[in-house]
Each structure stands twice: as structure tokens, then as C-alpha cells.
Amino acid sequence: MSDFKSGFVSIIGKPNVGKSTLLNAFLGQKITIVSERPQTTRNTINGVYTDQNCQIVFLDTPGVHVPHNKLSEFMMRSVDSALEAVDLALVLTQADRGLGEGDRELMARMSEKNIPFFAVVNKQDLAPETAESMKKLIEEINPACGGVFVISAQNGRGVERLFSAVKDKMPPGPMYFPEDEITDRPERFLASELIREAALRFLREEIPHGIGIGIERMHERENGLIDIQATIYCEKKSHKSIIIGKNGAMLKAIGTEARRQIEELLAARVNLQMWVKISEDWRNNDAVMNELGYVSD
């Protein structure tokens, strides 16, 4: 183990640039939810890659944005925390958006904090010409960048080359997690996130940011069936009606999709029961946020 390498790598960027998709691609397994809606990731989620020579702890972070409630403030504190004592940061940008001022500020922040970083131009498949021009521009304006990589996390193009470069940057170090562990998040958290992902998929645009998922009970029976009881929190009475749907159709659709994903994750049959609860302005309520797991370290 004297030649063993290990390190911590933060994946950061503006909302909806593909951070979670890239983490799942690195691990070859889904541990974090993915949605086209911005601000899908709310907590920092650690994904662990281990082979015979190396262990890398990836920190998938919420999208960088201007906070507008206590939940948003929590998310931005999570980003700040994920940049403490890391060995490398991956600053993701999006090819079809071009290089924005926010992207430049993030890279400048890495330089100011003396954090080694790679710039990653994602979604190359959506705008190949823009991606290459962004690569040249980044190399010109930020010489502190350790490398610029053009990828598509969705289809895997360029991901292997980026991953190899990340491994090369890892210093000698110990194994922080057991070799068979791929995340430090408990199954309750992963189940709640998969329910939220299903809700993001089915609900209309103005509702998803106002929902939270609480796992009230998670118990495995002797026959291996796992009972999960969950509450979907929303902020308005009108939202509750939409989440439930006519004759319960929407809630059933969310539950069916969530159960399928949870069963795949846990490799077990799942009995999922869900309720919908109104908690007005819960994103500014410390008690509810704490109950749902949005607690700063």
C-alpha cells in the first residue's frame, strides 16, 4: 500500500451543468439524482471510487447561485465546505451556454484559494464548435488552470481521459473508506433523493423547488421486503392537490417511478407508501430543514 494514492475532488459549477451526471459516470453507477431542472442537488454528496492503486472521494455539490432563502444559503455553505482541503476541483461549464461571467468568477476563485483545478467543458455534443473555442479561451484567460477538458458526461465522450488525469493528480495517501463503499450517504438519504427525482420528473415547473422528502420509516421484513414510508412536503395547498393529482394519479406515478429506482439501488423489493403534507415556507424553517437533513456541519 506504500504506492497507494488517494484524494478528495470537488465537482462544482453553476446549476444544471451536469455535475451529478459526471459523478455517476465516474463511478459507473447512479448514486445521485439527475434532472434537467436547475438546483437539483441540495446536499454535498460523496461518491467513492476505489481500485487496487487509488481511492478518490468525489464531492458533488449544489449548483452555484445567489441564495434567496435559508435552503439556498445552506446549499451555498455546502459548496464552500466542499472546497476546504480538497486536492483538486473540477469546474464544470456548459458548451451550449458559452463561457459566462459566473464561470470566470469560479475559476478565479480557485486561483485565489490556491486550489488546483481542471476546467471541464461539458455537453460538448450540444455545441461542438463552441466547446473547442471555450477550451482555447479558458487556456488564454486562466493560466492557473491545470487542464481544460471537453466532454459529454451524458454519452461518455472524453470522460475516461478526464478521469485518468484526475487519478494522476492524486497524492500518496490512505484508503479513507472500505473498498466496497461507493458513497457515505445512508440508504434513507438515497431513497429520499430518488423520490424527489421522480417528483422532479413528473411535476410542473413551479412546484419542484418547493418540495422536500422526509423518510419516516424504513424497515426490512424477514422475507427481504423493505417497507418505506415517506412524506412529500410542499408549501401550498394548491401544490398538494397537483402532487396528489386526480384520483391520486400523480402521486401514484411518482411512487411507481421512485419504487423502481429504489429497488434497483437496494437490489430488493420495496413497499413504498407516501403522503403529502403542507408546510408553508419550509425552505425558511430551520426545524423542517433539520428534519429533512439540510443541516450544516
Task: Give the burial string for 247-280 (b: 16+ CB within 10 Å, else e).
Answer: eeebbebbbebbbebbeebbeeebebebebeebe
pLDDT of residue 102: 82
Domains and CATH numbers, the chain: 5-169 (3.40.50.300), 187-291 (3.30.300.20)
Percent of the chain with pLDDT over 70: 85
Specify the range with the lowest mean pLDDT, choosing from 91-95, 99-103, 233-237: 99-103
Taking the C-alpha atoms of residue 55 and residue 232, their distance in angstroms, rounded to an integer, is 36
| pLDDT tens profile 140-176 | 878 778 899 999 999 999 999 999 999 999 999 999 9
DSSP string, 9-62: EEEEESTTSSHHHHHHHHHTS--S---SSTT---S-EEEEEE-SSEEEEEEE-P
* 287 compared with 65, residue with greater pLDDT: 287
| pLDDT tens-digit readout, 48-77 | 999 999 999 998 876 554 445 556 665 556
Is 0.75 topped by the overall pTM?
no
Question: 184 falls in which pLDDT band (50, 70, 90)?
Answer: confident
pLDDT of residue 38: 47
